[in-house]
Structure 1
Amino acid sequence: MKGKEKQTYDAIVVGTGISGGWAAMELCRAGLKTLVLERGRSVEHGDYPTANLDPWELPYNDRVPAHEREAHYAKLGRKDYVLRQSSKDFFVKDDEYPYTEKRRFDWIRGYQTGGRSLMWGRQCYRLSDLDFTANAREGIAIDWPIRYADLEPWYDKVSRFVGVSGRSENMTQLPDGPFLPAMPFNCIETQFRDRVQQKYPERRVTHGRAAHLTAYDPEVHLGTRGKCQYRDRCIRGCPYGGYFASNSSTIPVARATGNMTLLNHAAVREVIYNADAGRATGVRVKHSDTGEETEYFSRGVVFLNASTLNTAAILLASKSDAQPNGLGNDNDQVGRNVMDHHHRIGASGSFEGHRDQIEKGRKPNGFYVPRFVNLGTKESKRDYLRGFGYQGGASRDGWWRLVREADLALGPELKQRLLEPGGWSIGMTGFGESLSNPNNRVTLNYDLLDKDGLPTLTMDAGFGENEALMREDMGTYAAEMLEAAGAKNIQIFREEAHPGFSIHEMGAARMGRDPKTSVLNRHNQVWNCKNLYVTDGAAMTSAACVNPSLTYMALTARAVDHAVSELNKQNL
């Protein structure tokens, strides 16, 4: 093969994260020769250098020195638990990939094979029709073009492959699925559940629904995976494949078909658009390791899964005579309607008793309290729209509590106390929905380029009055539940919340029913470029209050099925 023919594939996928891995796997399984482009470095499953290091083996007590934070992680360092010696190499350096803030935005990125699927929070929940119908019901933004019934079989499909542990609750606002066994509650979590249920029957406490294999089936959980080992070092990468990540699941399965070509250090500059045909013919790529630029072509489909804001950036940069404002942006909707969940608000409290009980292992999961406000009943109505859920867990203090006890003398007493765990406590955090707002947007900044020579983004997004009203209840209700459970020393924490911090950025190329007000149709196709699909967080029309990754995967599986069907019918 020569020239263009050598660079032509049946399909192109941009990104290898949660949704990109799914697109790659499903397209390859369907028999399409698929080029998968990752702008970051190669990370194979097992390339997790700190995964087996103990705390004393990590430099600086697992902290990043101030001079390094200031030089490379000025913005990432705002999310303190992320920036550690043990995990920093999976996150983007702010000085290499800068962005501009009109309003504060905490953009947290991972550029490598697997993207942020290596270090995500692994909580997996479904949107319900309460969420899919909310915009239309309340006159906010635009209506979703799909309902729960459209996505339910795809939720089931991806849930089985991912392996989601949890417990069925038969709640309309939190649809169930084919769960693996839930990670058991410890004694205090059980007490919390029982007493909250007794005093507040409408506030259900269930097990967190997490992408961890509590039971392993080699015929279902394909790739290089095994059972969760309860190490709770997930952010460093899991050598056991106990949690779901592209590196240990979808990418190996795609590779095994023989149909995948994966290129790293391949930053997509733009999508190539043929206006006469109304289709994407390929992508222009900047190879960051060589500095060369290359065009790759698709005879079939292109899937954009670069993560919400990077996908928007690629669309905005894909300008032509036919699309002067960017591909799919005739209506000025690309880059708008950016959403994220707001959190950093909740409560904590200590518990007496149960000193004879302690957990074995380090369970990487806790409890979940589903939304219980604004459910369509008079009792649940509040003076704001939408709602929130809580994530939390109980644990016993370790040896570090003794640092606070300055009056404790050195010697045998200290040694004995070091061997004894401290008291029990619970911490719980609310995650609230934000409303779609066209003034929350990102735009391209050609005056500031990243290390790959691509234009950067300017962020102009924030939370509004509805979110502020909601946050008052989020703190108060958390404290109420802890009090009902018997907690002492209850403290409500309320910290400033800014978009990006929850790492659930959504919107920017939303689905809809009308090309005048949306970027994508009900099958995730760009309206004026039907062989171009967007199935990452950019496609979301509203945010709901649950972690969104399972929805991204379900949308991707559904869209690939549609794309393959249309290709077979020669409609694309």
Structure 2
Amino acid sequence: MNINNNHFEKNTFDAIVVGSGISGGWAAKELSQKGLKVLVLERGRNIEHVKDYKTALTDPWNFEHGGRAPLDIIAKHPIQNRTGFAITESTHEHFVNDLENPYLETKRFDWIRGYHVGGRSLMWGRVSLRLSDIDFEANLKEGIGTDWPIRYKDIAPWYSYVEKFAGICGSRDGLPHLPDGEFQPPIEFTCAEEHFSKTIRQKFPNRYLIHGRGAHLTQPTAEQTALGRASCQSRDMCMRGCPFGAYFSSQAATLPAAQKTGNLTVRPHSIVNSIIYDEQKKKAKGVRVIDERTGEWHEFFAKIVFLNASALGSTFILLNSTSNRFPNGMDDSGELGHNLMDHHFRIGAYGETELFKDKYYKGRNPVGGYVPRFRNIGTDKRDYLRGFGYEGGARRYRQWAGEEEFGASLKNKQTQIGNWSMDLGGFGECLPYYENKVELSKEITDKWGQPVLRMDAEFKENELKMRVDMKNDAAEMLEAAGFKNVNAYDDISYPGLGIHEMGTARMGHDPKTSVLNKWNQVWACKNVFVTDGAFMTSASCVNPSLTYMAMTARAADYAVKELKKGNL
């Protein structure tokens, strides 16, 4: 995308958006379309849609190392490398250099980041699910944490609003605890998935395999094609960047829409250090920025500030925004940095079936299927709180060749397609624990002289009890559907690797127990809004990105109305 430099000399805008990922792109779109002059500050380099997706169209055989990351690249990504996360020759440029972006760990935390224009909207899993009142009411009913200040009815129209623009494929399934949305046609099941879906509906009345709800265009609207977006090609190479604009990303959707208004300025290589607080006016007046390349400091000014730097990035900025009014960071509740949540996963089961050997599939489904939560719903009561869902799907793979095989035997086996296999991987909810936290380190600084974050979070007894069911239920369903050689697994999950960091600047009813009010405003500084994962009051078990989008659009609408009234 084009970088607009027209406003750099005066450094003054109507709104500053920190971060250009999923929520930051939405803030930029909404605020600029409502007539505000908007500056987006991104700490990393620019990535231009299509042009800078360097490996998006590269055939597997044309990678120098066969797709595997060479040792010099692996050495720069020790966090991702220790997790087994997919740092490859084709995707490594979208992930941060861990050595240049350190953090401390009181307990292990696998922080997976992408510092560039578009942020993790270029690499996200694209599963797009709505929270429901079972999620918004859980804290209050169970006496956990603090109550959400909103309910499903408050956010439902904003879910619809962002779904129509982003483009979400899926099926309408009529489940009250997983509300339907504004869907484009789903990506079809494979025959093995269809068999599994029908079988478990017959054998388990409250369990379903539904079509995955994903941010992939299957029937683009006129608005989407006008932005240059096209239907999903079922390549399943999404982390390389999608030159078709088929999946939702800031580059393909929100930033181009904002750019069309003429109101958008994007400044990459801009590390936001802190918010500038005006002691006399009792509100924020701008931000302090370090140029990533030169180390020079700059100040930018605006009437409102939206923090969308990711949950931990935004919390860092709030913690680091000290002043006479805020000696410990921009918060009065003592909750800033606390209640860190992520989904726990890497658990489930897989198996194979000898059915459908005469059938194959076309393309590679990037969405798969989804089994919505069925534990602790209705009359089902477990010895833990909340629940989990499964993501998964069925494919056919080449037959596995043993290590002892070579020559003609190896070649022959590798040309034969094996049985259909299916995997169900669970994603479970983590409760909001006050002691799960991040804080500014007093021990080390980064290369720009800033304190780094110290992570201190873990999954506790409730999550560990839940994982027993997550593993056993997956195996039970596969066996019930006739799958053989079923293997249940638990590969251990540490906070961070779910890449759904949430909760460190939570919303609430009361400034004594929460950082933000129901409009995502900082209680103590109401022209600062936080609409990334930091605002989450509880985690649910569903993927949270769609909620970030909807809450960002809602907060932007409110902010502009309040600005026009002179209240900000």
Q: Which runs of 5+ in 1 are unaligned?
A: none
Contact 2:401 / 2:413 at 8 angstroms: preserved in 1? Answer: no
2:56 to 51, 56, 68: 51
Map 1:157-556 to 2 at 5 A.
Answer: 157-220=161-224, 223-298=227-302, 300-327=303-330, 329-375=331-377, 377-378=378-379, 380-398=380-398, 401-404=399-402, 406-407=404-405, 410-411=407-408, 415-556=411-552
Q: Equivalent residue of 2:529, what SS?
A: strand
The Cα of 1:414 is off from its aligned counterpart by 5.2
Q: Could you report, residue by residue, the CA deviation over 1:192-211 in whole angstroms, capped at 9, with x for unpaired residues?
A: 00111111011011011000
The Cα of 1:403 is off from its aligned counterpart by 3.2
Aligned amino acid, residue 389 of structure 1: G
Contact 2:56 / 2:242 at 8 angstroms: preserved in 1? Answer: yes
The Cα of 1:336 is off from its aligned counterpart by 0.5
Contact 1:222 / 1:253 at 8 angstroms: preserved in 2? Answer: no
The Cα of 1:423 is off from its aligned counterpart by 1.3
The Cα of 1:85 is off from its aligned counterpart by 1.0
Q: Which residue of 2 aligns with 1:118?
A: 122
Q: Could you report, residue by residue, the CA deviation over 1:394-440 in whole angstroms, capped at 9, with x for unpaired residues?
A: 00012xx3433734x633x6555443322110011000000000100
Contact 1:106 / 1:498 at 8 angstroms: preserved in 2? Answer: yes
Aligned amino acid, residue 511 of structure 2: P
Q: Which runs of 5+ in 2 are unaligned?
A: 1-5
Aligned residue pairs, count: 563
Contact 1:222 / 1:249 at 8 angstroms: preserved in 2? Answer: no
Q: TM-score, normalised by structure 2?
A: 0.97
Q: Equivalent residue of 1:215, what SS?
A: coil
Contact 2:269 / 2:293 at 8 angstroms: preserved in 1? Answer: yes
Q: Equivalent residue of 2:223, what SS?
A: coil
Structure 1 runs of 4+ aligned residues shifted over 4 Å read 2-5, 413-417
Contact 2:436 / 2:457 at 8 angstroms: preserved in 1? Answer: yes
Contact 2:332 / 2:524 at 8 angstroms: preserved in 1? Answer: no
The Cα of 1:568 is off from its aligned counterpart by 1.1
The percentage of aligned residue pairs carrying the same residue is: 54
Looking at structure 1, the residues matched to 552 and 150 of structure 2 have their Cα atoms a distance apart, in angstroms, of 14
Q: Could you report, residue by residue, the CA deviation over 1:312-346 in whole angstroms, capped at 9, with x for unpaired residues?
A: 0000000001100001x222211100000000110
Aligned amino acid, residue 309 of structure 1: L
The Cα of 1:57 is off from its aligned counterpart by 1.4
- More divergent stretch after superposition (413-422 vs 263-272): 413-422
The Cα of 1:67 is off from its aligned counterpart by 5.0
- More divergent stretch after superposition (72-81 vs 239-248): 72-81
Contact 2:165 / 2:223 at 8 angstroms: preserved in 1? Answer: no
Looking at structure 2, the residues matched to 67 and 336 of structure 1 have their Cα atoms a distance apart, in angstroms, of 36
Q: Could you report, residue by residue, the CA deviation over 1:371-412 in whole angstroms, capped at 9, with x for unpaired residues?
A: 00111x22x1111100000000100012xx3433734x633x
Contact 2:401 / 2:410 at 8 angstroms: preserved in 1? Answer: no
Q: Could you report, residue by residue, the CA deviation over 1:125-166 in whole angstroms, capped at 9, with x for unpaired residues?
A: 000000000000000000000000000000000001111000
Q: Equivalent residue of 1:61, what SS?
A: coil
Contact 2:7 / 2:265 at 8 angstroms: preserved in 1? Answer: no
Q: Equivalent residue of 1:554, what SS?
A: helix
Looking at structure 1, the residues matched to 58 and 446 of structure 2 have their Cα atoms a distance apart, in angstroms, of 33
Contact 1:341 / 1:545 at 8 angstroms: preserved in 2? Answer: yes
Looking at structure 2, the residues matched to 85 and 264 of structure 1 have their Cα atoms a distance apart, in angstroms, of 24
